[in-house]
Amino acid sequence: MSQKMYQIYTHDVYDFDNLPNPLEVGTQPFCTFDKYQIHSHEVVGDLQFKNFTLPYMHITHMLWSPKTDLRLINNIQCSAINFVFFLDGNGLIQNTELDKTFYPESGKHYISFTPGGGFYNQLTEKAPMEVFMISLDKEFFKSILTDSSGWNQNILSSLESLNPLMDISSNMGISPAMWQIIKNLKAYQSLGIINNLNIQAQALELISLQIEILQNSNTTGNSDLKVDDIAKLHQLKDYLDENYLNNFTLYELSRLCFLNEFKLKKGFKILFGTTVFGYIRKLKMEHAAKLLSQSVPISQVAYELGYDYPHHFSVAFKNYMGVNPSFFNSKT
């Protein structure tokens, strides 16, 4: 990071007597769904938000770009259950009560219940973060968990005993149907009875789609991955994002992240929904498509990606992208 991490508590930044609390439901101050409000802090930066609130539901759309490397510690008690969708940005969320770490990035989501606070957000200087969040009243949510599946019972147990929970789908992101609902909800600029009903219906549909993903994810889950292993795998992914043009063996990658080959293969697939070499291929082909769209000759692109012959590159590119390189670039 570019400088020392700045640490601050949520209540030192935001006055929830005058600002809406995205983690809670019920009557909220300063509510608006037709335009963004801006709250500025000299260190934390500008928080843009708009929100819609009912006695049992609170919807918030937030955009934030911190002025410095920041650790924002939340020690405010929360009685609602929160459904969180990261639309842009990346960072780190640590639930200190559960000793659970989540690395948010565009397209990721999770459910949390933090009755005692006990978590912090870690963000990077000038790195924009966009979050869409729905909070539901705990009793209302309990009333709709009607079946006796293991996932439902685990959630109910946490809510009734006031134990914190953080349910994460690491290998499944926001689905196209979920993205569309979020887009629709973000677009509302006026309320009225029809829009009010539509917003509630779409918000509950979004939650149902998220729960479906989390229920399926928990059948295979990542409970066998240790927090340290997850951190190492994310560090490896970050490294590959910058060095994907290099050629690696599985042994070399395992040495880079200090995990054995079995843990690397299994853990990477669980966390990111693809194999480590599948991820490298994705980065290479996306890079190739960008070069081709800039009229870089196919032979040069093939050479940069490490292919001995342009034809071999063309076959691999079509197998991955579904079109020939010439679709992007007529030069040979």
Q: Where are the domains of the chain?
A: 6-217, 227-327
Fold classified for 227-327: Arc Repressor Mutant, subunit A (1.10.10)
Q: Which CATH number fits domain 6-217: 1.10.645.10, 3.40.50.300, 3.40.50.170, 2.60.120.10?
A: 2.60.120.10
Query: Which tokens sit at 220?
Result: 């295979």
Mean pLDDT of 183-194: 86
Give the separation between CA 43 and CA 252, rounded to whole angstroms: 41
* Band (298; pLDDT cuts 50, 70, 90): very high
Residue of 35 and 202 predicted with greater confidence? 202
pLDDT, mean of residues 57-86: 88
Percent of the residues in the chain that have a pLDDT greater than 70, as a whole number:
91
User: Model confidence at 331, in pLDDT bands (50, 70, 90)?
Assistant: very low
- Interacting residues of 122 by C-beta distance below 8 A, sequence separation 6+: 5, 70, 71, 72, 91, 92, 93, 94
Residue 271 CA to residue 173 CA, distance in Å, equals 11
**C-alpha to C-alpha distance for 285 and 291, rounded to whole angstroms:** 10
- Residue 310 — pLDDT band, cuts 50, 70, 90? very high
pTM, rounded to two decimals? 0.65
Cα separations in angstroms, 116 against 22, 76, 146:
16, 7, 26
Percent of the chain with pLDDT over 90: 33
Summarised one tens digit per residue, pLDDT across range 279-296 is 899 899 989 988 998 889
* Range ranked top by mean pLDDT from 183-197, 246-260, 311-325: 246-260
pLDDT at 228: 80
- pLDDT at res. 170: 52
Q: What is the pLDDT of residue 116?
A: 80
Q: Please give the pLDDT value at position 220.
A: 47
* Arithmetic mean of pLDDT, 125-151: 85
Query: What does the alpha-carbon distance between residue 170 and residue 241 come to, in Å, rounded to a whole number?
Result: 18
pLDDT digits (tens, 9 = 90+) for 72-120: 888 777 889 999 999 988 888 887 777 777 777 788 888 988 888 777 7
DSSP state letter for 326: G
Evaluate whether 2 touches 37 at the Cβ level (below 8 Å).
Answer: no
- State the pLDDT at residue 251: 94
